[in-house]
């Protein structure tokens, strides 16, 4: 019986094998090859293993002993090669009591958030300057449309944990305070383009290490 099966299998296999040699269901990032607008070059499929599709870095709480009492840990394509080219990624955020993920945008992606522990106050502002603000509890989900300014505050007495998903392998993350105050953009330009007072700008530049 086995003798009969082998040739059948052989015939069956012939069918698609030649054309399927390089079928590309995924494009695991090869960090040593050129990167293009659509992402990293693809690792040789023969060298891809399941570990390229698994990431354990989000299992560890971030260190929240810092000024914002919060930490964001990302699983974007530059850390997690399996998401390259697949249009998806995620991140975790840990907030100690009084912690905050301050105003920020993701230039190239929408975000969905799910609360795992604690209570948040989360909000975003639309182009029409409307505020969408909500208290979120464990299990609540909130979506933040692409590119809009948003923030998440720990609104409870205990630490909070949430995960976010993005529809891009590299959504970007522009923190408002960093963009305004943590670089060498001259104070007078920041003032002219933001209407903030020079004193306030200098104060925050000092906190964040900006110059100018």
Instruction: Judge contact between 158 and 138, C-beta under 8 A.
Output: no
156 near a copy of itself, rule: CB under 8 A: no
Among 3, 47, 157, 184, binds a copy of itself (CB under 8 A): 184
Instruction: Judge contact between 148 and 105, C-beta under 8 A.
Output: yes
Q: Determine if residue 188 is labeled as part of a ligand binding site.
A: no
Give the nearest distance from C-beta 62 to a copy of itself in angstroms.
8
DSSP state letter for 41? P
Instruction: Judge contact between 99 and 154, C-beta under 8 A.
Output: yes
88 near a copy of itself, rule: CB under 8 A: yes
Among 97, 158, 198, 206, binds a copy of itself (CB under 8 A): 206
- Tokens of residue 206, six digits: 């000092």
x/- letters, 93..122, toward a copy of itself (CB under 8 A) = -------x-xx-xxxxxxxx-x-x----x-
Among 145, 156, 160, 187, binds a copy of itself (CB under 8 A): 145
Residue keyed to tokens 């300014």: 149
Among 96, 151, 160, 187, binds a copy of itself (CB under 8 A): 151
DSSP state letter for 189? H
Give the nearest distance from C-beta 179 to a copy of itself in angstroms.
4
187 near a copy of itself, rule: CB under 8 A: no
Q: Determine if residue 106 is labeled as part of a ligand binding site.
A: yes
Among 119, 156, 159, 182, binds a copy of itself (CB under 8 A): 182
Supply the DSSP string of 59-110, one letter for each residue: GS-----STTSEEEEEE-TTT-GGGTTTT-EEEEEEE-TT-EEEEEE-TT--
Q: Determine if residue 150 is labeled as part of a ligand binding site.
A: yes
42 near a copy of itself, rule: CB under 8 A: yes
Q: Which helix (H) or strand (E) holds 153?
A: strand 150-154
């Amino acid at each position: 019986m086995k003798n009969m099966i082998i040739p059948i299998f052989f015939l069956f296999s012939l069918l698609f094998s030649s054309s399927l040699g390089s079928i590309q269901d995924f494009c695991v990032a090869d960090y040593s090859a050129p990167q293009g607008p659509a992402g990293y070059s693809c690792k040789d499929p023969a060298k891809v293993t399941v570990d390229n599709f698994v990431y354990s870095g989000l299992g560890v709480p971030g260190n929240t002993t810092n000024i914002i009492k919060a930490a964001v840990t990302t699983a974007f394509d530059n850390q997690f090669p399996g998401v390259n080219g697949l249009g998806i990624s995620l991140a975790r955020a840990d907030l100690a009591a009084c912690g905050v993920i301050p105003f920020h945008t993701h230039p190239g992606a929408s975000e969905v958030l799910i609360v795992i522990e604690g209570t948040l106050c989360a909000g975003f502002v639309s182009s029409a300057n409307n505020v969408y603000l909500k208290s979120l509890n464990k299990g609540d989900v909130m979506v933040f449309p692409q590119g809009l300014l948003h923030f998440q505050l720990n609104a409870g007495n205990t630490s909070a944990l949430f995960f976010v998903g993005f529809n891009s392998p590299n959504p970007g993350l522009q923190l408002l305070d960093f963009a305004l105050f943590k670089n060498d953009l001259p104070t007078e330009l920041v003032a002219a383009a933001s209407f903030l007072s020079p004193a306030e700008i200098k104060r925050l530049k000092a906190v964040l290490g900006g110059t100018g």
